[in-house]
Amino acid sequence: MTVSPSLDDALAGAERLLSRRAGATVHLTEPEDLGGHGESVVVRTRMTHNPFSDRRSVVVKQYLGSDDGVDPFRYEVASCQLFTALPADARPAPVIIAHDPDQRLLVLEDLGRSGSLADKLFGPDPETATRCLLSWARALGRMQACTAGREDDFGALLRRLGERVRRDPIADQARAALAEVPALVADVLGVTVPPQAAVEARTTARLLGGTRFRAFSTADTCPDNNLVTSLGVRFVDFERGCFRDVALDAAYFRVPFPACPSSFALPDGMSAQMLAAWRSEVAGVWPELDDTGLLEPRLVDADVLWVWWCTWTLLPRLAHRDGPLGRDAGRTPWLSTALRHYWYGLGERAAATLPATTGLAGLMTAAIDERFPDSPRVLPVFPAFRARV
DSSP classification of residue 113: S
234-246 pLDDT per residue, tens = 999 998 999 999 9
DSSP classification of residue 97: E
Residue 376 region by backbone torsions, left for phi larger than 0, else alpha for psi between -120 and 50, else beta: beta
> For the whole model, what pTM was predicted?
0.93
CA 238 vs CA 59, 75, 181, 230, 264: distances in Å: 15, 7, 29, 21, 23
CATH class held by domain 117-388: alpha beta
Whether 38 shows a pLDDT value over 70: the answer reads no
Other residues' Cβ atoms within 10 Å of the Cβ of residue 21 = 14
Whether 1 shows a pLDDT value over 50: the answer reads no
Q: Which pLDDT score is estimated for 215? A: 97
Lowest mean pLDDT among 34-38, 271-275, 306-310: 34-38
Domain boundaries, the chain: 5-109, 117-388
Cα 384 to Cα 210: distance, rounded to the nearest angstrom: 38
Cα 207 to Cα 265: distance, rounded to the nearest angstrom: 25
Q: Which CATH number fits domain 5-109: 2.40.33.10, 3.40.50.12280, 3.30.200.20, 3.20.80.10?
A: 3.30.200.20
**Average pLDDT score over residue span 20-45:** 85
Q: pLDDT confidence of 206, banded at 50, 70, 90? A: very high
Helical packing angle, 195-203 and 355-371, nearest 10°: 110
Cα 50 to Cα 100: distance, rounded to the nearest angstrom: 19
325-368 pLDDT per residue, tens = 988 877 899 999 999 999 999 999 999 999 999 999 999 999 99
